Structure 1
Amino acid sequence: MAGGYDDRDGKIWLDGKLVEWREANVHILTHALHYASSVFEGERCYNGRIFKGMAHSERLRRSAELLDFEIPYTVDEIGAAKYAVLEANGWKDAYVRAIAWRGAGPDMGVASQRNPVRLAIAAWEWGSYYGDAKMKGAKLDIAKWKRPSPETAPSQAKAAGLYMICTMSKHAAEAKGCSDALMFDYRGYVAEATGANMFFVKDGEVHTPLADCFLNGITRQTVIGMLREKGLTVHERHIMPEELEGFEQCWLTGTAAEVTPVGQIGDYNFEVGALTRDIAESYEKLVRA
């Protein structure tokens, strides 16, 4: 599929029905456009099956509740809409994006209780998020922006507003020839990349930042379970920046990223080693099972 994301052939599910791609529009005074009152999910469909689709739909509804609104569709209805989009476009392997937001209505200030809550689901064919980094290892910058305290933002919501600093950090990283950026949290601990969780390997054991102020990704949880099933020790803990020097391997996890090896973060280098490759291959088999 070529062209801008607003100018394509196909169907998008919008507020209960399938509409033509180019007609899936909102008004300029949509509340979410001005005040970031929106939540979303990124999912992948493999061989006609959305991986962890129900878990994503459940999280979408939880995210909305954290932003003080309720999506007017059940988990089952959201799931059915996702498959309707895939069928309408003839895709069995695709990325699926569900987004819910406060629309245009009687309110156009910070408060928007009277405005309707809307839901849209789109999908598109999308390859590797990091391109050839899946083979040779991604190169990451270190972001100047930090993940905020849970006292300042609903960190467990997959909310659009939380990604503003991610966009800025990724742009800065790309300007330096990097694929992404590592972000620290408000305390200075290693947190995550701009749209993916992080894992490290040292002496045969796996370490991953404790998700206490950023999104505990569904792929992250899946990979932790896979590692433990393989008999590996996984430490979910606070990781100091100076520990990066001692880690031997590193990878990213996320619906878009899947399992992507990391070869470099700032001045620190990592081997794309056997464990990294094994978990990437195991994840690929799991999602296509």
Structure 2
Amino acid sequence: MTAAYDDRDGKIWMDGELIDWRDAKVHILTHALHYASSVFEGERCYDGKIFKGHEHSLRLIESARLLDMQSPYTAEQIDQAKKEVLEANGFTNAYVRAVMWRGSGLDMGVSAARNPVRMAISAWEWGSYYGDAKWQGAKLDVAKWKRPSPETIPTAAKAAGLYMICTMSKHAAEAKGCSDALFMDWRGYVAEATGANIFFVKDGEVHTPLADAILNGITRQTIIQMLKDKGTPVHERHIKPEELEGFQECFLTGTAAEVTPVGEIGDWRFQVGRTTRDIAEAYEKLVRA
């Protein structure tokens, strides 16, 4: 059995230096623990190189800005820190997690402008996010929660607090034997899975929800460009749930998910077809290029 995440050997980069894994701790009155003032990135390293690592560093800084936090590090410094973490742990293929948060300080209430912004980077070896579903097709539940309006939350930020309904929805899905759950947004349109963007295929053309209320994933953007480069029409638009019955294929994208086919969403069924297989193979080649 894999050791708990707080009880492992290795090094974690924290506030500018590498420290022993088990010493990477924060105080119980850390602001982020009480008020969700935290943003993060998930990245994958393939054969010694983080795929689009700099783009992830830039997004981390932007997510912090959207939560009214100023990053204490530049994107280039974050890039270097990630490299140091991988080298210190001897990883060439790994998942990388960068997190930035408001720590403990002079304030302990909703307002925390005087508290320091802190940062840490860790990495670990991690296989397929969805296990065998990566090849066989994932089974998705339909979440009871909805993605909220961008007038209520900063949807462009990869913020920890926005994942609260994701955790609850994924737990509910797993209890039903599913790998994940699909969200609708507050208007009733198809949105995304708990940690991945979603795509559908119909008659050789690809349809994906417009990123006006969801995180416009870096992998999502990569896949859209790859499809366009292959000459595949891509429609970014609002998708109604009743349209799912007419789609032939479905797949998820994300740093952790990579490209994962979907076989079922509730009562809807999809085939693991050619478009999905082709883009999954092309993505696998790209990240290792």
TM bin, normalised by shorter chain, reads over 0.9
The answer (yes or no) to whether the contact 1:2–1:8 under 8 Å persists in 2 is no
Residue in structure 2 matched with residue 135 of structure 1 by the alignment: 135
The residue that corresponds to 2:71 in the other structure is: 71
Q: Establish whether residue 23 from structure 1 lines up as the match of residue 23 from structure 2.
A: yes
Residue aligning to 2:194: 194
Distance 1:2 1:211 in 2: 36
1:143 partner amino acid: A
Structure 2 residue 204 is the aligned partner of structure 1 residue 204: yes
Distance 2:176 2:244 in 1: 20
Task: Report what 2:181 is aligned to.
Answer: 181
Question: 1:54-111 deviations in whole A, cap 9, x for unaligned?
Answer: 0000000000000001110000000000000000000000000000000000000000
- 1:43-122 → structure 2 map (5 Å cutoff): 43-122=43-122
**Corresponding residue number in structure 1 for 2:286:** 286
**Secondary structure of the structure 2 residue equivalent to 1:32:** helix
In structure 2, C-alpha distance between the alignment counterparts of 1:28 and 1:216, rounded to whole Å: 33
Q: What's the counterpart of residue 245 of structure 1?
A: 245
Question: How many residues align structurally?
Answer: 289
Deviating above 6 A after TM superposition, structure 1's stretches of 4 or more consecutive aligned residues are none
Give the match's secondary structure for 2:72: coil
Amino acid at match of 1:139: K
Query: Which residue identity does 1:7 align to in structure 2?
Result: D
- Whole-Å Cα distance in 2 between the matches of residues 125 and 90 of structure 1? 10
TM-score normalised to the size of structure 1? 1.00
Aligned to 2:123: 123
Tell me what 1:256 maps to: 256
Q: What is the aligned-residue identity percentage?
A: 76
Give the deviation of 1:147 after TM superposition. Answer: 0.5
SS of the residue aligned with 2:145? coil
SS in 2 for 1:146: strand
Give the corresponding residue for 1:39.
39
Task: For 1:94, give the aligned amino acid.
Answer: A
Q: 2: CA distance between counterparts of 1:50 and 1:134?
A: 21
Q: Distance in 1 between matches of 2:2 and 2:177?
A: 25
- Measure the CA separation in 2 of the matches of 1:206 and 1:160: 30
Task: Provide the residue aligned with 2:146 in structure 1.
Answer: 146
Amino acid at match of 2:17: K
| Cα separation, 1, equivalents of 2:261 and 2:214 | 21
1:17 CA displacement: 0.1
Q: Secondary structure at the match of 1:104?
A: coil
One-letter code aligned to 2:124: W
Deviation per CA, 1:183-221: give whole Å up to 9, x if none: 000100000000000000001100000010110000000
How far residue 2 of structure 1 moved from its aligned partner, in angstroms, is 2.6
* RMSD (Å) for aligned C-alpha atoms: 0.6
- Secondary structure of the structure 2 residue equivalent to 1:106: coil
Letter in 2 for 1:240: K
Instruction: Please name the residue that 1:214 is paired with.
Output: 214
2:191 and 2:177 mapped to 1: Cα distance? Answer: 21
For 1:17, the aligned partner's letter is E
- Unaligned residue ranges in structure 1 (runs of 5+): none
CA distance in 2, matches of 1:69, 1:173: 34
**Paired letter, 1:95:** Y
Q: TM-score, normalised by structure 2?
A: 1.00
Unaligned 5+ segments in structure 2 are none
Q: Does 1:228 align with 2:215?
A: no
Contact 1:182 1:191 in 2 (8 A): yes
